[in-house]
């Protein structure tokens, strides 16, 4: 059985994390340009000013993608590079850059998957209240229309938002990402609603402007996995996964997915949050709920749950002492790639693509000039086997994007964490394919049969 014949194998990046050229060719500032320069916000004061210098080195980077055998490349557009003020004037040099990148990809038979928004929000619009301002829906629609009109003749796969859970949760709730705010629910809930509305509006715009477009969405949320295969534990895990908690609701998967895919907010969320939703929210659900060609998810790890005799009916199990972890200290739980897609497909019944998965490891260039990263290969092998099982057990699984193509700016962790298939020496910008990149090539060539 294995993966479908037309399965898509790729790798992913995001604009602020790799492009650099933060002040070049008319680009406007994003909230990350500002935040990364605020003292104490990012590990060792690292900024994305230069990052992987992909803005200048993209032809070589596309060559490396080709060498790895990637069939698809997921990258995001920098909104302020295209519209320096976030709305109004357009920066032709920004459009030129992405046109060149897209052409280079197509020349190399690599299918571009474009994420419209991966966190580098225009600083100028932040001053206007960002997503809390109802006009944000229109701002995003105009930006989407510009991208659709400019790139839609060649790009057919678009993703609206990357992980609203994180840019709202970490950026405006916990405050460890840009812009570093800690806002109350009376701000956060309207923001979430406007983002969902912007998503629906963008899907509509893409459909009307891009012939044969395929549109997706890439939220996240750590899967809840059953501790055993008993029906009780399965139900407990399912319930834990899709119940919106009162605290930490911004990170939940159902709040951000049910409206887009099912046309309603989850009851468990409305119970606590309905009072903060903007007037007329019920009407907006029609706009929010647009047919999607694929449902993307970024999954890195999950937690085990069992049935419990408490009000909620579920309980999270602690991780055993010495549980395996990645360099960034995230637990290694391959089953997340079984249960995540399985439960998500069961609920949303929409073709599924893993839009991100991977790990950070302590990668170094060895004396032999190579980067030996057996941990990454082992991690991917385990996770991909679980993913394949999910496909064989009936989830409609269409593709996999490794996070990340190359080491890059890991947000508040700066350059401390290395998630790439390609090692980047930030002093010299020298790229080195890691052992795992060659191994991933064999996975792609065999459509997952070598796993
Ligand atoms: C984000 C990426 C990030 C990765 C690893 C996801 O949350 O979409 O931008 O680098 O996970 O943390």
Q: How far apart are CA 451 and CA 448, in angstroms?
A: 6
Which residue has the CA at smallest separation from atom 12 of ligand 1?
410
Cα(274) to centroid(ligand 1), Å: 29
* CA of residue 421 to ligand 1 center, whole Å: 15
What number does the ligand 1 atom closest to the CA of 300 have? 11
Ligand 1, residue 360: give the atom nearest the CA. 5
Q: Is 410 in the pocket of ligand 1 (CB under 6 A)?
A: yes
Residues 155, 160, 163, 166, CA torsion sign: positive
Kindly give the pairing relationship between strand 352-356 and strand 314-316.
unpaired
Sheet containing 303-307: which strands, arranged edge to edge? 224-226, 303-307, 314-316
pTM: 0.98
Q: How confident is the model at residue 1 (pLDDT cuts 50, 70, 90)?
A: confident
List 423's β-bridge partners, or say none: 432
Residues 6+ apart with CB under 8 A from 236: 226, 305, 306, 307, 308, 313, 314, 315
Q: Ligand 1: does its nearest atom lie under 6 Å from the Cβ of 403?
A: yes
Report pLDDT for 326: 98
Q: Whose CA is nearest to atom 9 of ligand 1?
A: 14
pLDDT digits (tens, 9 = 90+) for 346-363: 999 999 999 999 999 999
Eight-state DSSP code of residue 114? E
Measured from the CB, is residue 417 less than 6 Å from ligand 1? no
**What spatial distance separates the first Cα and last Cα of the chain, rounded to whole Å?**
13
CA gyration radius for the chain?
21
Environment class of residue 441 by beta-carbon count within 10 Å: exposed (0-12), middle (13-18) or buried (19+)? middle
Distance from residue 219's CA to the centre of ligand 1 (Å): 11
* 32-89 per-position pLDDT tens digit: 999 999 999 999 999 999 999 999 999 999 999 999 999 999 999 999 999 999 999 9
Q: Is 246 a catalytic residue?
A: no
Ligand 1 in contact with 166 (CB < 6 A)? yes
Q: Which letter does DSSP use for residue 72 in this model?
A: E
Active-site annotation holder among 19, 356, 410, 417? 356
Residue 368 has pLDDT above 90, yes or no: yes
According to the 3-state scheme, what is the secondary structure of 297-318?
Answer: EECCCCEEEEECCCCCCEEECC
What's the chain's average pLDDT? Answer: 98
Average pLDDT over residues 232-236: 98
């Amino acid at each position: 059985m294995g993966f479908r014949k037309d399965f898509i194998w790729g790798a992913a990046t995001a604009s602020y994390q790799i492009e650099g050229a933060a002040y070049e060719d008319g680009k406007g500032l994003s909230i990350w340009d500002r935040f990364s320069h605020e003292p104490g916000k990012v590990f060792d004061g690292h900024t994305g000013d230069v990052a992987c210098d992909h803005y200048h080195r993209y032809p070589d980077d596309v060559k490396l993608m080709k060498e790895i055998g990637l069939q698809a490349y997921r990258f995001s557009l920098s909104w302020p590079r295209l519209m320096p003020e976030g709305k109004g004037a357009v920066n032709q040099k920004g459009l030129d850059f992405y046109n060149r990148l897209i052409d280079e990809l197509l020349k190399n038979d690599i299918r571009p998957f474009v994420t419209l928004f991966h966190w580098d929000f225009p600083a100028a619009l932040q001053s206007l209240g960002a997503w809390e301002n109802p006009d944000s829906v229109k701002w995003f629609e105009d930006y989407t229309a510009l991208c659709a009109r400019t790139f839609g003749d060649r790009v057919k796969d678009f993703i609206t938002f990357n992980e609203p859970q994180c840019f709202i949760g970490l950026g405006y709730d916990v405050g460890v990402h840009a812009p570093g705010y800690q806002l109350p629910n009376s701000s956060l809930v309207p923001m979430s609603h406007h983002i969902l509305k912007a998503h629906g509006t963008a899907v509509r715009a893409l459909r009307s402007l891009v012939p044969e477009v395929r549109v997706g969405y890439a939220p996240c949320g750590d899967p809840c996995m059953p501790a055993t295969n008993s029906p009780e534990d399965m139900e407990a895990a399912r319930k834990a996964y899709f119940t919106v908690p009162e605290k930490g609701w911004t990170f939940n998967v159902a709040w951000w997915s049910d409206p887009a895919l099912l046309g309603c907010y989850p009851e468990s969320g409305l119970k606590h949050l309905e009072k903060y939703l903007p007037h007329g929210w019920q009407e907006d659900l029609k706009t929010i709920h647009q047919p999607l060609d694929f449902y993307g998810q970024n999954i890195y790890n999950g937690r085990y749950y069992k049935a419990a005799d408490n009000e909620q009916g579920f309980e999270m199990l602690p991780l055993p002492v010495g549980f395996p972890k990645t360099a960034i200290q995230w637990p290694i739980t391959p089953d997340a790639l079984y249960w995540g897609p399985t439960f998500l497909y069961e609920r949303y019944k929409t073709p599924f693509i893993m839009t991100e998965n991977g790990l950070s490891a302590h990668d170094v260039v060895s004396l032999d000039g190579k980067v030996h990263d057996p941990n990454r290969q082992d991690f991917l092998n385990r996770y991909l086997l679980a993913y394949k099982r999910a496909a064989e057990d009936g989830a409609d699984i269409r593709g996999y994007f490794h996070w990340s193509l190359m080491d890059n700016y890991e947000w508040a962790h700066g350059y401390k964490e290395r998630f790439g298939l390609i090692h980047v020496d930030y002093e010299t910008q020298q790229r080195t394919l890691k052992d795992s990149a060659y191994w991933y090539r064999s996975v792609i060539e065999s459509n997952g049969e070598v796993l």
